[in-house]
Structure 1
Amino acid sequence: MMSLTLPCLALLAQPIVQSTLAKLMKGEGMSFDEAYGHVLGTLCVSTLTPILFSFLPIK
């Protein structure tokens, strides 16, 4: 099950990342490296947030 889920998520995220990169490069005037860094940073933070929440004690 896991082997099918991850590629499907990657395929769903690809058009979103492409359009976001295009908007950042055209609208904000960023280079590809800057825009990719912003997108990659956002993905890292959104991935690590639930992991960090799992270490909080349950009240």
Structure 2
Amino acid sequence: MPAFEFVKSSYSGGNAGQECVEVARNIPGTVAVRDSKAGDGPVLRLTPTAWAAFTGALSVR
């Protein structure tokens, strides 16, 4: 299994204990998302199309 290279979202807070999301886009055809506070926890894997729909829905708010 290839290693995901996670990057913290620019929307995440900088202080410890805040809600933080990390995203990895280094694997073709996959966008991986995880909670930065649970680095060994579950990883949500999405297609780029599903990721675009998800982030687009967030922007509407």
Give yes or no for TM over 0.5. no
TM range (shorter): 0.3 to 0.5
Higher strand share: 2
TM-score (norm 1): 0.33
TM-score (norm 2): 0.33
Higher helix share: 1
Higher Cα Rg, which structure = 1
